[in-house]
Amino acid sequence: MIEAFSIAELATKVQSGAVSATEVAHDVIARIERYNGRFNALVSVEPARILAQAAAVDQKRARGEALGALAGVPIAIKDAICTEGESTTAGSKILRGYAPPYDATVIAKLRKADALLTGKTNMDEFAMGSSNENSAYGSAKNPWDDTRTPGGSSGGSAAAVASRMALGALGSDTGGSIRQPASLTGTVGVKPTYGRVSRYGLIAFASSLDQIGPFATDVRGSARLLEVIAGHDGHDATSLNVPIDGYELACSASLKGLRVGVPEEYFAEGLSPDVEGSVRAALARLESDGCIITPIKLPHTRFAVATYYVIATAEASSNLARFDGVRYGLRVASPSLGEMYGATRDAGFGKEVKRRILLGTFVLSAGYYDAYYLRAQKMRTLIRRDFEEAFKKVDVIASPTAPTTAFKLGEKADDPLAMYLSDIYTLPASLAGVPALSVPCGADQGGMPIGLQLVAPPLQESRLFTFASAVERHYAPTLPTGVQ
C-alpha cells in the first residue's frame, strides 16, 4: 500500500479517514519484514511502538481533533538522532545498548506532526564514511543493486526510503551524508542552511558542519518534512531565529527568468560520462522551462576536500572524547582508569573513527595548529566567499551531486582517499553553510540513479524546492526493480 503514495498523498488519506494509521503501520511492518533482511537499512525496529503510535493517531482523529502534516506517514530515523527510550548507537559498538532519556528536537516535532517513527537506520559509525561500510551493523545495501553501496553516512535512511520501508527519513549531513546517498539511491535529500534545523539530540561528529535534514520519495515530501522539523530551538546555540518559508508552496512557483549557475570546477577529471550527460540534459530541460543557464567559477573548490578533512577531524577528535566508558555505553574492565579509557575506546571505535580521531588530534597539536587547522579555517572563508560572489550573479547553482553512480561494496574500502573523493561536489556547500539538495535526474547505462545537486544562498531553501520540482517533472519518482 504505502509504496503507491507520496508523503502528501498518504497524509491526506489518513487525515480524511480513507486510510487508518493502523493500516499503514501493519503495511510498513510487513515491508520491513520483507525487505530489511536484504538491504539492512534499519538496525532497530520495534513493531509494538509503531502500532502504538498509529493507534494514538487514529484515536486522535476519532476524537475529532485535527491531525498533523505527517499524519500516519512512516518516517525512519538515522541512528545518530536521539529517541527517548529507544536504541541510539550512531552505528558504533561503543554505544551498543544506549537508550537516550530524551527526544531530539526534530523527533519531538515529528511526533507533534503525527508521523509514525518506524525505526533507526543504518549508518557509517559516528557519520564517518561515504558508503555505510563503517557501520558496526554491517553495510546497508542499495535497493537498486544490493551488491552496491547506498552511500553514506546516511545510507540506511536513503535505502529505507528507496525501498519504501518508509516514505521519508531523517539523516545528518556533515560533508554530503544526505545528498550523496540520495543521489546513489534515486531519492530526494536536503541539507538545510546551517542553523535552520536544531541539532539538539544529534550525536555530534563535527559541530560546525553537522545538519539534520530529510530524505523523501519526492520533492514535495521533502519540503513538507523540512517545514515540520525546521525552526528555532533554545536548546541549540547555533539554531537560527528566523521565519520558516512555505517550502511546500514553493514547489509550484515559476522558474521563468531565474538564473542557474553552472560551476566549471564541478565538471572536471573523475566525473563519470553518464553522470555528466544526465546532469547536462537536466540543465537543458531547466533552460527550456525558462531558466537562464550561466557558467560560473568557484575557484577554491579544489581545496575543499583537504579543508574539510582538517576541520571535520579536528572537531571529531574533540567531540568523541566524551565516549570513554565512564557514563554510558561500552566499558572494558581494566585495572586503572587510564587503561579502561584506552581499552574501551580501542574495542568500541572502528578503524575509520580511530583514523579521524588521530588526524584531528594531530592537526590540533602544538606546532601543527597554525600549519593545518588555522589555514583550513582561512580556506573555509575563501570557499564561502566564492559562493557569496556567485550568488550575486545567479539564483541557484547546479552540479552533479556525486562524481559516479553507486559503486560496488568493498570497491573503495581499502583506499580512504578514493572514498573521501566521493563527496568532492558536496563538501563546498557544507563548508559554506549554505542549503543544498539532491534530486534524481536520470540513470546510467546500468540503470543506477544519478542526482542533480542544487545549491542556494543561506536560508533560501524555497529556491531549491522550486528548481527541484521543475527537474522532477521530467523525471518522475520510480521504485527499484524487485521492491514493487
pLDDT by residue (tens digit) across 423-481? 999 999 999 999 999 999 999 999 999 999 999 999 999 999 999 999 999 998 888 98
CB 139 within 8 A of CB 124: no
Crossing angle between the packed helical segments 304-319 and 375-390, to the nearest 10 degrees: 120
What are the two backbone dihedrals, phi and then psi, of residue 440, each rounded to the nearest 5 degrees?
Answer: -60, 140
385, part of any domain: no
Structural domain count, the chain: 2
318, part of any domain: yes
Please give the average per-residue pLDDT across 326-333, as a whole number.
91
482, part of any domain: no
For residue 413, pLDDT over 90 is answered with: no
291, part of any domain: no
CA quadruple 137, 143, 412, 452: dihedral, nearest 10: -120
Confidence at residue 320, expressed as pLDDT on a 0 to 100 scale: 95
**What is the extent of the structural domain holding 21?**
2-261+396-472
Report the CATH number that the domain containing residue 455 is assigned in CATH.
3.90.1300.10
Asked if residue 360 and residue 251 are part of one domain, the reply reads no
Helices (H), 371-460: 375-390, 416-420, 427-432
Number of Cβ atoms within 10 Å of the Cβ of 414: 8
Confidence band, pLDDT 50/70/90 cuts, at residue 418: confident
For residue 189, CA distances in Å to 39, 148, 171, 378, 480 come to 19, 19, 9, 29, 17
β-sheet bridge partners, residue 400 = 452
For residue 371, pLDDT over 80 is answered with: yes
pLDDT digits (tens, 9 = 90+) for 259-272: 999 999 999 888 99
Asked if residue 414 and residue 328 are part of one domain, the reply reads no
24, part of any domain: yes
pLDDT digits (tens, 9 = 90+) for 64-120: 999 999 999 999 999 999 999 999 999 999 999 999 999 999 999 999 999 999 999
Residue percentage of the chain with pLDDT more than 70: 100
Confidence at residue 84, expressed as pLDDT on a 0 to 100 scale: 97
Asked if residue 375 and residue 254 are part of one domain, the reply reads no
For residue 81, CA distances in Å to 104, 157, 163, 409, 478 come to 6, 12, 21, 25, 28
CB 118 within 8 A of CB 83: no
> Position of cell 537508550?
99
Please give the average per-residue pLDDT across 355-379, as a whole number.
94
Mean pLDDT of all residues in the chain? 96
Asked if residue 401 and residue 440 are part of one domain, the reply reads yes
pLDDT digits (tens, 9 = 90+) for 470-479: 999 999 888 8
Please give the average per-residue pLDDT across 8-32, as a whole number.
98
CB 142 within 8 A of CB 445: no
CB 431 within 8 A of CB 304: yes
The 3-state DSSP class for residue 137 equals coil
278, part of any domain: no
CB 104 within 8 A of CB 81: yes
Nearest to 26 by CA among 155, 111, 95, 116: 116
- In the chain, the amino acid numbered 205 is F
Rounded Cα distance between 48 and 212, Å, is: 26
Number of Cβ atoms within 10 Å of the Cβ of 111: 18
Rounded Cα distance between 459 and 88, Å, is: 30
- Of 314, 345, 379, which residue constitutes the final position of a domain? 379
Asked if residue 414 and residue 463 are part of one domain, the reply reads yes
β-sheet bridge partners, residue 260 = 293, 396
122, part of any domain: yes
CB 99 within 8 A of CB 77: no
What are the two backbone dihedrals, phi and then psi, of residue 122, each rounded to the nearest 5 degrees?
Answer: -65, 150
What residues act catalytically? 78, 153, 177
Asked if residue 410 and residue 363 are part of one domain, the reply reads no
Asked if residue 407 and residue 347 are part of one domain, the reply reads no
295, part of any domain: no
Asked if residue 313 and residue 180 are part of one domain, the reply reads no
Asked if residue 28 and residue 86 are part of one domain, the reply reads yes
Rounded Cα distance between 188 and 198, Å, is: 20
Asked if residue 48 and residue 154 are part of one domain, the reply reads yes
- Of 323, 350, 379, which residue constitutes the final position of a domain? 379
Asked if residue 403 and residue 257 are part of one domain, the reply reads yes
Asked if residue 348 and residue 427 are part of one domain, the reply reads no
β-sheet bridge partners, residue 142 = 145
